[in-house]
Amino acid sequence: MKNITIATAIIGSFALGVGTASVLAQGTAPYYEVAEINVKDQAGYESSGVDKVREAIKANGGKVIAGGYNKATSVEGSAPANRVLITVYPSKEAADKAWSDTIRPWMKSVQGKFAEARVIGVQGIESK
């Protein structure tokens, strides 16, 4: 009787684990952004409120996963900007919220003054 109870518990735990993994896998795909920023005045750029942008990225579930100043190299084509960042968000909606609340207004204030930037967003592929 004790062995049957243990076996039932093991099978139940396995089924619960598979079910949970299945539900998690059905979530939204991550959303990535690649920012090429040619910073003309690093001191001005850093004092322009970029710390609020970093906070907004984190507050919306985003995480910078690669990049920084002078970290990118050209593999093909023209030389990259002096600041390249790759950011991942849990969803496009999370990225859109960060942009509408904080990033876009800040970007307009530094564009042409301290930096020139191009940001590309791309939907990730869902895990299967």
- pLDDT tens profile 109-119: 999 999 999 99
Which domains are delineated in the chain? 28-123 (3.30.70.100)
Structure tokens at 88: 């991942």
The mean pLDDT value for 54-76 works out to 95
Q: What is the pLDDT of residue 40?
A: 96
pTM, two decimals, is 0.74
CA proximity to 88, closest of 124, 127, 52, 126: 124
User: Beta-carbon neighbour count of residue 5 at 10 Å?
Assistant: 9
